[in-house]
Structure 1
């Protein structure tokens, strides 16, 4: 993830087993919501019946695991049918997942719908849409900036405007964007710019009278059966556009299938075919990656918030490996969520294993390979904490509160309550008491009032979100040290929390997964405390 946008930053459906497909899904940590999730599924099939080799898919899964690419989910479609799918526990089919910049492709879809309605043209000048927010002195380059330049990341800015827009003292992000210097002629200079996509969201709201999320509801989400989507907002309630959308893995796959079908869904043209063609072709030479062009999926050109790929494919993608890959020649869609520091490696394994797996209609394979793939996809899991389930000091610390020294997190006390196969971590701060229940030797799911903001690339909120889904586990890594992994399962991220006990003292250290990936220090302080008598 070496290029500039990073700085902004289970089951197998077998044809022979379709009647028993739902029962073949592994028991989920979130089973209570599974029934509503399964009401709007895509059709399922076996790989071979759709001309795909099970071995190629199995090789892909084994490869991404051996390379420790940290996938959370995978769904592969061929000819509109799901031929393989899996979630690495504790991630699950019915959970949403933050999309980061894959959100951009949904935003450009809304622009396409506005254009189809005659409410917008890609040739419209940006300042003409926001006359009240434009600066007193409008430079020629700003005056020339079109909607199309926002779509193609060729606004003319010399660098990504997102940090300047977000960190401006003016909470009006539109005004802050238009105040940035525009050094290049718009349409001539590519720079990945999430603030440009934010402006597309603001345009949707300006021209439709609805937020981007509200606009896409009846036009995209409802026809595709996408339920429960949410989107982060700016300080004034405008959806962030360039990031912040959360949907399920199958929703990503449906979105890709809509594009593969040139905007057609269940006999209705949701998006003009001409727009799909324009959005997914290369409009400008893109930048990024460290490889030469023929080996680099970031140098294949950029469309309307879609990247071109090698092998005549295209994709929407987001930080840390959120993917919607469309392969028109192969009639395939691949949806992936993950938290990886090597996004190119995931694409490499798609081209190395899944692409060659597409065979003729009479593709056949031994039953043994199909069964191996099914077993693999239904048993995927991320590693648990390694260590012992017990420590001799538990009796001395169990449910004993520790008073925490003054700190920037405003934490006043912590306590750990141990049971046979679980531990509840309790922490009190200026917002109240937060509890996280951890399985010991297993994942334990629940909700927490702890904020996810410290874990994310961008500190923008989901409106109204008070509780966050979490799955956690812990183990004693030595007699005095209990370590937990907290996975915030509707984000891309997790954190490690280490509690070290020494006599009547405790140290609590937090390390978010982004710090783990980047081999950097977590900015939060180590908490120190003393047991309350």
Structure 2
């Protein structure tokens, strides 16, 4: 099934905040707090089933899908719930029975597991995968995914130090195994099954999901959806699996999925951390309500007591701060009855939402030193980023940047001066197996300083590279806005080696 159409589909009714008992000035304060924790990409607040605040920071937009990282896990768990409701799966089914071909060989001396490890593995259940109490002492995801074998086999080959069901370790590959099980017992892809039963009725139009090398949705990450998609998914859970009078999820599944199967305090953290409140079926308990969430602040916060859903996409390094902002500004702003009309407060909210933007570096289209780079090949010293050389061809409105990778491949991007220019980055499997649209921008911020910015438009990442010229040598200082590792990347050094005829920028 092809889900490429990303036409916006507004399916939630809109309302003024006051009509739904929400103070618009408090929503303005929430937007202000979130924009001080860069970067907010989008925000949607829903009260009593009505959208009372929504905004996007360009290039993010209502009709553009955004990768939601580990929020994908909550959707994978929902596919499990459908299979359980259809009688195709039981939460106490053993993983070794569901995926027998992935079970490692007998005997540690044969590259398999010891007898004790196999014994523990034999008791691993679907429920244990859902609650991430798989028995691993540390997250096995990297070893399983990058081990050069099918991801299910890589997961089952990792020794279980604890009895399944007794030790919580957050791990993404467990979610992938759930996706593989759904695929096995239903004979359908996770996305197709979800789209037919849940996402389609909710009005999703353009969701995409990364696939593993075996053609199965990655489960724990890789889903992309719009902000209203996320909000609608939260509304479905808030309404106990019923949408527009139609039951989409099995009765009782929402209560099971949102319960604290892993009790508070199990995951290390202080009592004020929203990651120490317990864990359900691929959903976190929060200090208020519960949530699905993904790296860098992809949130679907569900507040049953307040009848609220908050959907958010962002690039936050500190995930606690945006949740703190919601608790601080939104919760006190909620009343059990409509609030008095506040046109001035509502106008302030609209301005705050309309002003959401992600700035691009400011500078000039050219420099007295631009000729030192124009058409030249900048040969780089060996580096861990896999970049061999760069060639810049200058233009009055945009430059052409050709990147030569260490493996011989090349990537060319047009970089606009007054405004960024759309382009595409090649796939980077296994985590980014599809081409990725980007916007690229470049300006001279000083005579000897050139700043290049590349932003993924359906993901969180933005790369800024500061290029400093010293005679015929260059120093490139790359930095990411957010990263699982250090966002400050290794400095690249090189020199200008050749001159080539200039050609107009693409």
| TM-score, reference length from structure 2 | 0.89
Whether the 8 Å contact between 1:44 and 1:82 is mirrored in structure 2 is: yes
1:20 corresponding residue in structure 2: none
The one of 476, 482, 489 aligned to 2:450: 482
Please say if 1:82 is aligned against 2:60. Answer: no
Q: Which moved more, 1:404-413 or 1:74-83?
A: 404-413
Q: Quick one: distance in 2 between partners of 1:130 and 1:187?
A: 19
Please say if 1:49 is aligned against 2:49. Answer: no
Question: Per-residue deviation at 1:166?
Answer: 1.4
Q: How does 1:33-44 map to 2 (within 5 A)?
A: 37-44=7-14
Tell me the alpha carbon deviations over residues 409-433 of structure 1, each in whole angstroms, 9 at most, x when there is no partner.
364541132324x433233446655
Q: How does 1:98-497 map to 2 (within 5 A)?
A: 98-137=67-106, 139-169=118-148, 171-285=149-263, 292-293=270-271, 295-311=272-288, 313-395=289-371, 397-398=373-374, 400-405=375-380, 407=382, 409=386, 411-420=388-397, 422-429=398-405, 433-442=410-419, 444-451=420-427, 459-462=430-433, 465-466=434-435, 468-497=436-465
* SS of the residue 1:376 aligns to: helix
Q: Quick one: distance in 1 between partners of 2:485 and 2:150?
A: 32
Whether the 8 Å contact between 1:510 and 1:526 is mirrored in structure 2 is: no
Q: Quick one: distance in 2 between partners of 1:481 and 1:141?
A: 59
Q: Quick one: distance in 2 between partners of 1:136 and 1:502?
A: 59
Gaps of 5+ in 2: 107-114, 501-506
Q: Note closer, same or farther for the CA distance 1:317–1:168 as it changes in structure 2 (3 Å cut).
A: same
Q: Note closer, same or farther for the CA distance 1:528–1:47 as it changes in structure 2 (3 Å cut).
A: farther
Q: Quick one: distance in 2 between partners of 1:93 and 1:130?
A: 39
Please say if 1:59 is aligned against 2:29. Answer: yes
Whether the 8 Å contact between 2:480 and 2:487 is mirrored in structure 1 is: no
Whether the 8 Å contact between 1:263 and 1:270 is mirrored in structure 2 is: yes
* SS of the residue 2:305 aligns to: helix
* SS of the residue 2:122 aligns to: helix
Q: Note closer, same or farther for the CA distance 1:250–1:518 as it changes in structure 2 (3 Å cut).
A: same
Q: Quick one: distance in 1 between partners of 2:447 and 2:159?
A: 58
Question: Per-residue deviation at 1:475?
Answer: 2.6
Q: Note closer, same or farther for the CA distance 1:289–1:514 as it changes in structure 2 (3 Å cut).
A: farther
Q: Note closer, same or farther for the CA distance 1:130–1:436 as it changes in structure 2 (3 Å cut).
A: same
Q: Quick one: distance in 1 between partners of 2:293 and 2:9?
A: 27
Whether the 8 Å contact between 1:71 and 1:339 is mirrored in structure 2 is: yes
> Which has a greater percent of helix?
1
Q: Which moved more, 1:340-349 or 1:180-189?
A: 180-189
Whether the 8 Å contact between 1:69 and 1:340 is mirrored in structure 2 is: yes
Whether the 8 Å contact between 1:507 and 1:529 is mirrored in structure 2 is: no
Tell me the alpha carbon deviations over residues 337-392 of structure 1, each in whole angstroms, 9 at most, x when there is no partner.
11111101111000000111112322024311111110111121112214445422
Q: Note closer, same or farther for the CA distance 1:62–1:51 as it changes in structure 2 (3 Å cut).
A: same
Question: Per-residue deviation at 1:175?
Answer: 1.4
Question: Per-residue deviation at 1:40?
Answer: 4.3
1:16 corresponding residue in structure 2: none
1:522 corresponding residue in structure 2: 489
Whether the 8 Å contact between 1:485 and 1:495 is mirrored in structure 2 is: yes
Question: Per-residue deviation at 1:274?
Answer: 0.2
* SS of the residue 1:310 aligns to: coil
2:504 corresponding residue in structure 1: none
Gaps of 5+ in 1: 1-34, 454-458
Q: Quick one: distance in 2 between partners of 1:435 and 1:45?
A: 45
Whether the 8 Å contact between 1:402 and 1:506 is mirrored in structure 2 is: no
Q: Quick one: distance in 2 between partners of 1:125 and 1:524?
A: 49
Whether the 8 Å contact between 2:178 and 2:219 is mirrored in structure 1 is: yes
Tell me the alpha carbon deviations over residues 185-235 of structure 1, each in whole angstroms, 9 at most, x when there is no partner.
211111112111111011011101122122212112211121221112222
Q: Quick one: distance in 1 between partners of 2:362 and 2:267?
A: 35
Tell me the alpha carbon deviations over residues 479-508 of structure 1, each in whole angstroms, 9 at most, x when there is no partner.
011102211021111101223334445444
Aligned length in residues: 484
